[in-house]
Amino acid sequence: PEEFISKIPEVKEALEELKVLSMDKEFREEYEAYIKTQNDRISRESNARAEGELKGRAEGELKGRAEGELKGKREMALGLLRSGVDVDIIARTSGLSREEIELLNDT
Say what the pLDDT of residue 1 is: 63
Say what the pLDDT of residue 77 is: 92
Q: Work out the angle at residue 33's Cα, subtended by the Cα atoms of residues 27 and 34, and round it to the nearest 5 degrees.
A: 90
Rounded Cα–Cα distance for residues 63 and 70 (Å): 11
Rounded Cα–Cα distance for residues 52 and 37 (Å): 22
Rounded Cα–Cα distance for residues 37 and 65 (Å): 42
pTM of this structure: 0.50
Give the chain's count of helices (H) and strands (E).
Answer: 5, 0
Tens digit of pLDDT per residue, the chain (107 long)?
677 777 788 888 888 888 888 888 888 888 889 889 999 999 989 888 888 888 888 888 889 999 999 999 999 999 999 999 999 999 998 999 999 998 987 76
Rounded Cα–Cα distance for residues 65 and 78 (Å): 20
